[in-house]
Each structure stands twice: as structure tokens, then as C-alpha cells.
Amino acid sequence: MSTKTHDLGSLPHWDVSNVYPGLDSEQFAQANRDLKAKLDDLDAYLREHHIAQASSPAESPRSDAPPADIVNGYIDRTNAALSLFDTLWSFINTYVSTDSYNTAAKRAQSELEMLSVRLNQYAVRFQGWIGRNADALPQILENESSAQQHAFYLQELVEQSRYLMSETEESLAAELNLSGGNAWGKLQGVICSQLTVPFERDGETKKLPITAIQNLRYDPAADVRRRAYETELAAWETVREPLAAAMNGIKGFTVTLNKRRGRTDALHAALDLSRIDRETLEAMLGAMQDSYPIFRRYLKAKAARLGHEALPWWDLQAPVGKVGRRFTFEEAQDLIVTQFGTFSERLADSARRAFDNYWIDAEPRDGKRGGAFCIQLPEVQESRILCNFDGSLDQVSTIAHELGHAFHNVFRLAKTRLQVITPMTLAETASIMCETIVGDAILAAATSEEEELGILETSLVGATQVIVDIASRYLFEKEVFERREEAELSADDFCEIMLRCQQATYGDGLDSRYLHKYMWAWKPHYYSVKLPFYNYPYAFGLLFGTGLYAIYQERGRAFVPDYEALLASTGEASAADLAARFGIDIRKPDFWAGSLKVIKKRIQRYLEIK
């Protein structure tokens, strides 16, 4: 066990000095030069072999090299460039995400984004070329080679090549994205990370970052939760116009490109990115909708426990039951490592390594973005985790969740960057498993009904967010995309849609007078050009992970090798094919309904406790 100790006044910041000593170091500068050299080499290689998208096969000059050799050379060069690029990107992100005031980091990020345009342009050229030479693909994949090892990647490229614009148009779109969709996303991140507001507590008024205000939603004091909610809404009022402009910019950018590329709609592209089909999504969403009544029963019961006729938003995540205990960071790490060990020692070792080597940045502070994430540094084969730890059980669960992502990365170390391109639907598999392992262990250790109630509450708050709230976010984004095709939307439009979508999923489970009309403003998921509909994959991950956990409970440790093989393969198969390994048909509602039954049992127990 780690000997490092932390309390809430001294939470760890991540250490990335083993990657590069700093942004101003010679090693970092040399890595940037090396990346540029790799890109120059890749560019020269594409030109040498006349790899381009725009021309027809009859008009295009042809290389004397066999197609298989050309593909092998491209894959090897691209993997090398991507490994270095991803490491540089993650390294810079550790600075930008924790200090949005750091101008040197933002400049380094901007310079790297310029290089990402080149990577994108080369990928488009190759995709167009392989798409035009699709008939040769079976022969290319015949012999043991880099191409054969990347068969799934190549087959997916061919399939998606039908949605490419011309090479010139794709090149222009990549360049314009830097000052278009990507720039709007940056604006949203800066505004949210630098938003601070005064808040009075215990007779003392302090200026707090908006992330700290949002963390007060878990506070034991009802008055603190209510005032934090009111303070947060008032804060978003002050920045709503630039955030509405950012939302319009990003969605408009995406709508335009989807039309040019021949996509049916924004969901079409998102489904392909998720490696699922509409039948699968509809089966899952249908099962989720069928579960709304039991979630509403839970919310009504919670309202009664807190003395409300209907639950207001500020009490949606309020603690219930025995909530006196707060965790120090050391207690959180001891709990997580111990429980991970019940699943496998390899999982425990992975978490122990993260804690011992300062892979986790836990302290909420001004300039640091909210939420949590895990990033990979492939050149050093490590991960880094961001969270905003406040000592709550929810934050313990969040750390377990993100350590699951780090564990997933362990099984991708032997893979190339092109082999580990994992859709969001499958990216949550390990995180949900780890979160469930810790949550169930804590629940099983409860010594009284009051403690059991508090633990169930934490679990159900999370499940409600991922099923009911995620559904509202999906409905919101769907309508925003549809309406953005016709015209820009105002901040009032976004608020009206958000409230209506929350009412559609929460129903009478919440007090309709006190919802959260600014959920669209601060959720970074809405502000990504690359990941439209960055919402339903969380529900997929929860329910798919819950289904796998049920199989683990049946099979015990015999399940672990198959599970680890699944984690190693998430970049090399569709979600349906990977699920089929465990006898799961994700296109049928039965599987999703079965996973939801696990959550419904927890709700039923919650309702039984008086």
C-alpha cells in the first residue's frame, strides 16, 4: 500500500516530469521536432506512392510498389507519428486542463493542433486511396503483415470512405476547424474554468470556482445546497451569451460538414463513431424509457425523506442516510486498491501504481476544468487522471471509475495506435466495472440500514444521472441539431429545450419549478466537434458494464481472462461482435432490460428501507 498521505487541504497534483521535464525543456522541443520529421516523412511517402483521394483510379498515377507494401508502409509510419502526437497532446493537456491561465501551454496546444491538421489530411488521402482500391483489400490482407494486423481498421476505413468530401474540401475543413468548431470548444472551456463567484458559508464569504460551487450539491446542509444551486444558475446567467454562441458555432459547423459528406444526420456520424447501429440505440433507449417510472418512484421517495412534496434540482444529489463520513484521499486510495484486489491483483497493481506515482490530479482549483477524465501517454505507457476530490463517496466512485480507464489502457500497451481506436460505447466498459466493484463492496459492508441507505443513495444518484439525465441530454442534443439546420438558437431557446427535455425524462419525479435550464452551458460534451452525441455512450457503458458484472458474479475469477481479452480488443471489433463473445445480443431490448433490472433491485431496496 502507498505510504503517501493527503487530506482535503493537501490533495495531489499529477506529475508528468518523467514524460518531459516541462513545456520549456529541450526534450519537449525535440519531441516536437521529431513529430514534424515523422510527418514530413509520411507526406513524402504518400507523394512517392501517389496516394491521393481526389482522382479516379484511371486518372491517378500508380506506384510500382505492390499495394500490400504501400499499406504496410503507411500503417507503420502513421502509428509512429500517432504515438508521439498522442503523448505530446496528453502532456500539454495536463497543463491546459488544470490551469487555463497558462498561456505557454495554450500556445503549445495551438501549435500541436496545426500539426494535427496535417495528420488528418494524410489520413483522408489514404482513406480515399484505400476506398478506391477496396477490391484489392482481400489480397492485401492475405499475408502476415502490418496490414493484416490492422484488418479491422482498414475495413472500417473502406466502409467510411463513402462519406468523404473531396480531398481539397476535407483539407480545408480540417484547417478551418481550428478557427471554427475547435475554437468554439476552447472558448467554452476557458469560460467555465475561469468562472468564479462569491459564496457565503459559516459567516465567511469566499470567491469559489464554479466547480467548487457544483460540488456543494452533495453537501449535507440543505440551505447550502439550495444557495449553491441559486448561485450557480445566477453565474451561468452572466456568461450565457458567449456560451450560446459557442454552441451555435459548433453545431452549425457539424451540420454543414454532415451535409457535405452525405450523412443522413448528426446521429448517423455518431453511431458510426460508436460502432453501433440505430437498431441497437433504439433498443437501449426504449429499455431506458421503460425504466423511467421506477426512477421516478425513487426520486419521489427521496423527496419525502428530505421533507419535500416534490424533489427540487438542488436536492437531486443530496446525501440521504448515514453520510457523516468523509474520506481523506488516503482512505479513498486504500479502499479502492483493496477492493480492486478482490477482482484481480493485476487491477489492484494498476491502481497502486497510479496512486504511488502521482498520476492523479485531485485538487479543485481556479483555472482547473470540472469533471473527471483519464488520458494516455503512449510513449511512456502510462495514464493520467483528473478529478475534483471533495471527500464524498461519489468522488471515491469517480476515482475508481477513472482508474478503470487506466486499467483499460494497460491492455492496449502492446497494441498500435490504430489498433486501439475505441468507440465511446466501449470506452466505459472497464470504468463501469471498477466503479461497480467498489460500490458493491461498500454496500455489502454496511452495518445498518441507515448506512445501507446512504450507500444506495450514492449508487442511485449515479444511475439516475446516467439513465434519466443522459436521456434528457440526448433528447436535447437531437433537437438542437435539428433546429440548428434551420437557424441559430438563442440562449433562451437552449434553456427552453433543456427544461422540456428534463421534464420528458424526469417527469413528476422532480419539482418542475426547480430544474436546471443551464445544463447545456457547462457540460463540455456538447462542445466537441469530434464527438457529437457524447451522451448515450455513457448509458451504453453503464448497462453493458452492468451486464458484464452480472456474468462476473456468476463465473467468478474465471471471468477475468475473457474480460481482459475483451479490453484488449475494443479497438478491433464492433460493439455487437464483442458482446456476442459473452452471448449478448445488444440489438435486442432483453439485454438492456436485464441490466436495468439490477438497478431496479437497488431502487426497490431503497424504497423498502424506512
The answer to whether 170 touches 119, Cβ cutoff 8 Å, is: no
Q: Does residue 242 register a pLDDT over 90? A: yes
Between CA 341 and CA 343 the distance in angstroms is 5
Element counts in the chain: helices (H) and strands (E): 26, 5
pLDDT tier at 122, thresholds 50, 70, 90? very high
What number of other Cβ atoms are within 10 A of residue 507's Cβ?
Answer: 15
Q: Does residue 102 register a pLDDT over 60? A: yes
Question: What does each C-alpha distance from 52 to 35, 248, 354, 505 come to in angstroms?
Answer: 22, 33, 43, 48
Q: Which residues pair with 208 in a beta bridge?
A: 197
pLDDT digits (tens, 9 = 90+) for 543-553: 999 999 999 99
pLDDT digits (tens, 9 = 90+) for 206-216: 999 998 999 89
pLDDT number for residue 7: 47
pLDDT number for residue 1: 31
Q: Assign residue 3 a region: left if phi > 0, alpha if psi is -120 to 50, beta otherwise?
A: alpha
What number of other Cβ atoms are within 10 A of residue 42's Cβ?
Answer: 23
Between CA 1 and CA 353 the distance in angstroms is 10
pLDDT digits (tens, 9 = 90+) for 214-228: 989 989 899 999 999
Which of 37-41, 272-276, 452-456, 486-490 has the least mean pLDDT? Answer: 452-456
Please report, to the nearest 10 degrees, the dihedral formed by the alpha carbons of residues 110, 111, 114, 115 taken in order: -130
DSSP letter (8 states) at residue 420: -
Copy the grid coordinates of residue 4. 503517501
Quick one: average pLDDT of 342-368?
96
Q: Does residue 5 register a pLDDT over 50? A: no
Quick one: average pLDDT of 413-417?
93
Name the H helices within 180-219.
Answer: 181-194, 210-215
Q: Does residue 15 register a pLDDT over 60? A: yes
Name the H helices within 344-448.
Answer: 345-356, 393-410, 424-427, 429-444
CA-angle at 420, arms to 92 and 414, nearest 5°: 95
Residue 328 class from Cβ within 10 Å (0-12 exposed, 13-18 middle, 19+ buried)?
middle
Q: Which residues pair with 311 in a beta bridge?
A: 510
Between CA 440 and CA 465 the distance in angstroms is 18
Between CA 168 and CA 299 the distance in angstroms is 53
Between CA 220 and CA 450 the distance in angstroms is 15
pLDDT digits (tens, 9 = 90+) for 50-96: 997 544 444 556 778 899 999 999 999 999 999 999 999 999 999 99
The pLDDT mean for the chain works out to: 93
Between CA 399 and CA 351 the distance in angstroms is 10
pLDDT digits (tens, 9 = 90+) for 437-470: 998 998 888 888 998 999 899 899 999 999 999 9
Q: Percent helix, strand and coil across the chain, each rounded to 5?
A: 65, 5, 30
Residue-level length of the chain: 610
- Residue entry with cell 519537449: 28
Q: Does residue 367 register a pLDDT over 80? A: yes
Contacts of 238 (CB under 8 A, 6+ apart): 195
Q: Which residues pair with 375 in a beta bridge?
A: 384
Between CA 393 and CA 398 the distance in angstroms is 9
Q: Does residue 591 register a pLDDT over 70? A: yes
Half-sphere exposure of 18 (CA within 13 A, CB side): 13
The values of phi and psi at residue 573, to 5°, are -165, 160
Please report, to the nearest 10 degrees, the dihedral formed by the alpha carbons of residues 509, 512, 518, 524 taken in order: 20
The answer to whether 358 touches 15, Cβ cutoff 8 Å, is: yes
Quick one: average pLDDT of 575-583?
94
Half-sphere exposure of 192 (CA within 13 A, CB side): 26
pLDDT number for residue 371: 84
- Residue entry with cell 434528457: 472
pLDDT number for residue 131: 94
DSSP letter (8 states) at residue 144: S
Q: Which residue has the higher pLDDT, 140 or 394?
A: 140
Quick one: average pLDDT of 384-392?
93
pLDDT number for residue 3: 34
Closest CA to 2 of 328, 354, 407: 354
The values of phi and psi at residue 414, to 5°, are -80, -5
The answer to whether 115 touches 99, Cβ cutoff 8 Å, is: no
Q: Strands 204-209, 382-386: parallel, antiparallel or unpaired by DSSP?
A: unpaired
pLDDT digits (tens, 9 = 90+) for 277-286: 999 999 999 9
Q: Which residues pair with 200 in a beta bridge?
A: 205
Amino acid at 178: L
Q: Assign residue 419 a region: left if phi > 0, alpha if psi is -120 to 50, beta otherwise?
A: alpha
